[in-house]
Amino acid sequence: MGNISKPKFAVLGAGHGGTAMAGHLSLLGIEVSLYNRSADRIRAIQDNGGLDIVSNSDSIPHGFAKLDVVTSDMKEAIEGKEVLMVVVPATGHAFMAEHMAPHLVDGQIIVLNPGRTGGALEVLNIIRKLGCMADVTVCEAQTLLYASRAINPAQTQIFRVKNSVPVAAIPAHRTPEIVKKLRAALPQFIPGDNVMKTSLDNIGAIFHPAVTLLNAARIESTNGDFDYYTEGITASVALILDKMDQERVNVAESLGFRAMTAREWLYIAYDAAGRTLFEAMRNNRGYDGIKAPKTVYTRYITEDIPMSLVPIAELGKLGGVETPTIDSIILLGSLLHETDYRAMGRNIETMGLSDMSLKDIRNFIINGDLSK
């Protein structure tokens, strides 16, 4: 497949994931620009003319990745680019949408890497509310393609590129053509069913906030010096996670979608089987050696509560499903950080679903029906 069929990319966000993605694309021979809201973060990359990508694996491209456009000017970053890869924490999605909206043109594809829960819905809602009528397609990936770390201002290490990451578009019928374009550069992307499925299959929502909160004393007394998953998830903690997981699956079902259980996900992602969630966790060698956060001020709470748990609970209201366990974790996290995460989180209104019936929502997600 010649370069001629490969779309031009803009990567929006120059953190661990964004620098990995921009560098990887450049090393694959793709034309790519890199944007960051703060100019300081990208100064070294600008001076360098690109990024050094480091990897211990021959299967992952590494070396100097030349970048022609490195900027904190959104218009410059996305002009002439077909695929706009948003690689920032979900708390930054609204900022990106507001700054993209005036410059978007027909045919552009926006991909949130990842969307967490309700990301694509929120971004599309903001763009439309700001009066942008360009025919753009907003999509979300179920997870980030890379395990990576920025080790210096212009140097990033890629530890792993995931084998496959589902992506879904609004409307869902555009997903196959979008994935075809993405795969011209990154064959790891596969079609997801729809954005409600990518949003509600957000397993981090179950594994991150509750485990951090229920291990708060241990995190603070050891500075996170314990294995987060294998030691932090005891039989008692797993019991709480199981209840949260059941609520998440029930919410999806009430909206007419099937979400996979955390136990199914562990089997699919890691071949880890067990009769219970606790057993499956214990049988997962992929989690060995992963340490806990050093402090309770971690994105496992600051991002995963407002951008994952709050929207799941909000979607539950639409389907008439109560989420008492999820609600209790939202409350505990809010108390711990003295922040009202429910008030700052994604809700029915910010996701653009107010005044929609379940039928309307389903129609909108599958067919992009904007008549409502």
* Residue 73: active-site member: no
Q: Please report which helix (H) or strand (E) contains residue 359, including its range.
A: helix 358-367
Q: Which of 302, 331, 311, 279 is nearest to 202 (CA)?
A: 311
Q: Which of 209, 367, 236 is nearest to 302 (CA)?
A: 209
Burial class (CB in 10 A: 0-12, 13-18, 19+), 347: buried
Output the furthest CA–CA distance in the chain (Å, rounded).
Answer: 56
Distance CA 10, CA 333 (A): 35
Catalytic position from the list 201, 208, 242, 245: 208
* Residue 193: active-site member: no
Q: Which of 370, 311, 371 is nearest to 344 (CA)?
A: 311
Catalytic position from the list 52, 201, 242, 304: 304
Distance CA 235, CA 24 (A): 40
Q: Which of 297, 255, 311 is nearest to 118 (CA)?
A: 311
Quick check: 251 and 323 in contact, CB under 8 A?
A: yes
Quick check: 272 and 198 in contact, CB under 8 A?
A: no
Distance CA 161, CA 118 (A): 24
Distance CA 149, CA 23 (A): 12
Those residues with Cβ within 8 angstroms of residue 253's Cβ, 6 or more apart along the chain or in another chain: 259, 319
Query: Which sequence positions are flagged as catalytic?
Result: 208, 304
